A and B are shown apart, each in its own frame.
Chain A
């Protein structure tokens, strides 16, 4: 699964810019490059039915096979549907408002994810995966969770395909 590219855990890559130790809300949810800050959600590919699931799971939720491999999902996608969350939902301590969107990744997988925005985004808006701070856990670790960002500039070259390449 791992290519030649150096993948640091998110904690390591973000420690340099924040004062407190940081960790993802869930291990194995995403990975970030220590070189250019690229963030990938981590999914799993099933070698039996060839389908991709997010978050990664040992058993394929489509067919039940245990022959799955963790893989990086494409960082880029387009908004299919988007709504705005104005009030903090239960257990959430990050910023509001934010968008919740169905995003079509460049691999054609549809995912549901938060998007950094103060308004409903139009269908077709191009977004890229990032992380956001969503409060602290009981030990005082800064919690990080995936959050997509609107791409202002959209150079074709930035649309790297990672998964399946």
Chain B
């Protein structure tokens, strides 16, 4: 198949945080208008809309278009857990690649309640049995990673310190303040080894990416080099599909590993070519696990990577320079596109809070319930 390049024509974001005075539609409209403005395109140029949201309810994307000025174009609402925005991006990219349209908008938005969220993902009996306890699964996964990589809870605190320092420079983050290792360790214990500040906050926000088959503006072209979405295979007892059993041997590759392999193959790049990575830091350990799944370090190499500061700003491969979910919070439907917006800014040398000197290839990753995992690779031309 001849690969049609797909370009990002414009991006827009509504800050992530909590906005009691604004409806979900308000958040979506804000991000959508910002993206149209950025792309210097009228709404009439948008031929289809793909909208990712998890808690958005009936026809969430349609309500945004209705508020912007109903143009009657197709609107598809997409849910794929933490990868919802990426799933919308995949659909938009495929539609352009199939030459069904010349220009589409991909929107992600969310408004989430505070605290431990009651999810329809668990059955009633699982809730009754005390099994619908999301942070405990994160904690078990964290323990496994600490054991496998020879790390301790201080290493997790350092991830929070790094991401919050990065987030302090990002005006679109929910938390824009630095924290110390001691403060992180002193925050309330949620589930051993995870402290409260090591977990990201579910929150609200929206992000929008306009895709086109032609890059029109004068600024640096950013191409969607790959967008992949995978679900799980059965067998990993700690997989994001939250099973109650798994195998001790022959654990299948994770959705993140599958999505990464596929994306590297499509884009024709590998970890050594990446200049910047935004990955799923739902909790501090999840970031380190994601880095391993993405091949940023080999199994057993994590302690060395941390000691040598590979993922710090200015390191071998900065991770979550935006502040990550630990600073931004996680509005499920919007978070994947929030990463894409930030990486696009970096690739075009216009990131708030300071850019990388050299950024040509950047990767975004999400993973969560389903299981769903996405990997997006953007390339500056």
Chain A contact residues, CB within 8 Å of chain B: 25-26, 29, 43, 51-55, 61-62, 81-94, 98, 100-102, 104, 108-114, 120, 134-135, 143, 145-146
Contact = CB atoms under 8 A, between A and B. Distances in A.
Nearest to B235: A62
Contacts of A26: 123, 125, 129
Contact of A54 (B119, B191, B244): B244
Interface string B134-176: 1011011001100100000000000000000000000000000
B127 interface: yes
Given A26-B123, A85-B133, A145-B130, 7 more contacts: A53-B245, A86-B191, A89-B130, A89-B131, A91-B122, A92-B127, A109-B248
A124 B193 CA distance: 18
* Interface-central residue, A102, A104, A135, by most chain B CB under 10 Å: A102
A83 to B, nearest CB: 4
B78 to A, nearest CB: 25
Instruction: List the 5 shortest-distance A-B pairs measured between CB atoms, nearest first.
Output: A91-B127, A145-B129, A89-B133, A26-B125, A83-B139
Contacts of B220: none
Interface of B: 116-119, 122-125, 127-134, 136-137, 139-140, 143-144, 147, 189-193, 234-235, 237-238, 243-249
Nearest to B234: A61
Contacts of B123: 26
A53 to B, nearest CB: 6
A32 to B, nearest CB: 16
A144 to B, nearest CB: 9
B248 A85 contact: no
14 contacts: A26-B123, A26-B129, A51-B247, A84-B192, A89-B134, A90-B127, A90-B132, A91-B127, A91-B128, A100-B131, A110-B246, A114-B129, A134-B130, A145-B128
B237 A85 contact: no
Contact of A104 (B128, B134, B248): B248
Given A54-B244, A100-B136, A110-B246, A62 B128 contact: no
B245 A91 contact: no
Nearest to A54: B245
Contacts of A82: 140, 143
Contacts of B235: 62
A92 B247 contact: no
B140 A83 contact: yes
A81 B125 contact: no
A90 B248 contact: no
A109 B132 contact: no
Contacts of A93: 128
Nearest to B190: A86
A52 B191 contact: no
* Interface-central residue, B117, B122, B237, by most chain A CB under 10 Å: B237
